[in-house]
Amino acid sequence: MAARRYLCSHLVTLTWGAGQCVANLEEIWQTGAVVECDQPVSAGGLGELRCGGTFFAGRLVSADAHEFGWRVELEFSPLTPWSPERFRPAHLLDPMELQAEKPTGSP
């Protein structure tokens, strides 16, 4: 079963190797996250997200350049899983709740 992903918008600090930048947290789930940033990031190495006093360590599984910057996916270490109780991003949205609110008969 795929991990339940949540959409969000929250400024975090992304650190990797010798690099660090402020990034926007776009998606989060128990074992990972996606951030958008404006600095080049290389996939394959270790990385860390800091959200205030909370941090998530893991591996940078992808870093894709696009027109507005970089989209980076971080796979969290089993030692630092995410939960809403541990850290609740601003504007947290569960897309499954939108599905549940659809009126009957809607496509």
pLDDT at 46 over 80: yes
Residue 96 has what pLDDT?
81
Give the model's pLDDT for residue 97.
Answer: 77
User: Which residues, other chains included, contact 32 with Cβ-Cβ below 8 Å and sequence gap of 6+?
Assistant: 3, 58, 61, 73, 74, 75, 76, 82
Q: Is the pLDDT of residue 107 over 60?
A: no
The architecture that CATH gives domain 6-100 is Beta Barrel (2.40)
Q: Is the pTM of this model over 0.85?
A: yes
The token pair at 86 is: 């541990």
CA 62 to chain centre: 12
